[in-house]
Amino acid sequence: MKKKIILIFTFLLCGGILFVWSESEVKATFTGVIEEINEQGAIVYVTDGEDNAVSGIIAVNLAKNPDETFQVGDKVKVGYDGTIRDTAPIGITTLTVELVE
């Protein structure tokens, strides 16, 4: 009985880890220009979005790439989970952010 409980617990734990891991997959990207940098991240003006899924001004978490130094005017490519929050500016869950030349 104890082995069955441990086995079930192990399967549930592995399933939960796989679920969380798959949820943090980049499902959409856009390219934009940093308009403003603040404590929370950056305000990015979208210049090119996948299938025009997003446009306008988006709040981006620059902490997703701590190895890079970002400045106002930089062109960046942002990866996110595909979900857009109806806030001002538009909110996303930033998964990746990198400089583009």
Domains of the chain: 28-99 (2.40.50.140)
Give the pLDDT of residue 19: 53
16: burial class by Cβ within 10 Å (0-12, 13-18, 19+)? Answer: exposed
pTM: 0.73
Strand partners, 3: none
Q: Which two tokens stand for residue 5?
A: 């409980």
Distance of CA 3 to CAs 10, 16, 57, 60, Å?
10, 20, 54, 46
Give the pLDDT of residue 22: 46
pLDDT, one tens digit per residue, over 47-58 is 987 767 788 999
Give the pLDDT of residue 49: 77
pLDDT < 50: residue spans in the chain: 22
CA atoms of 101 and 53, how far apart (whole Å): 23
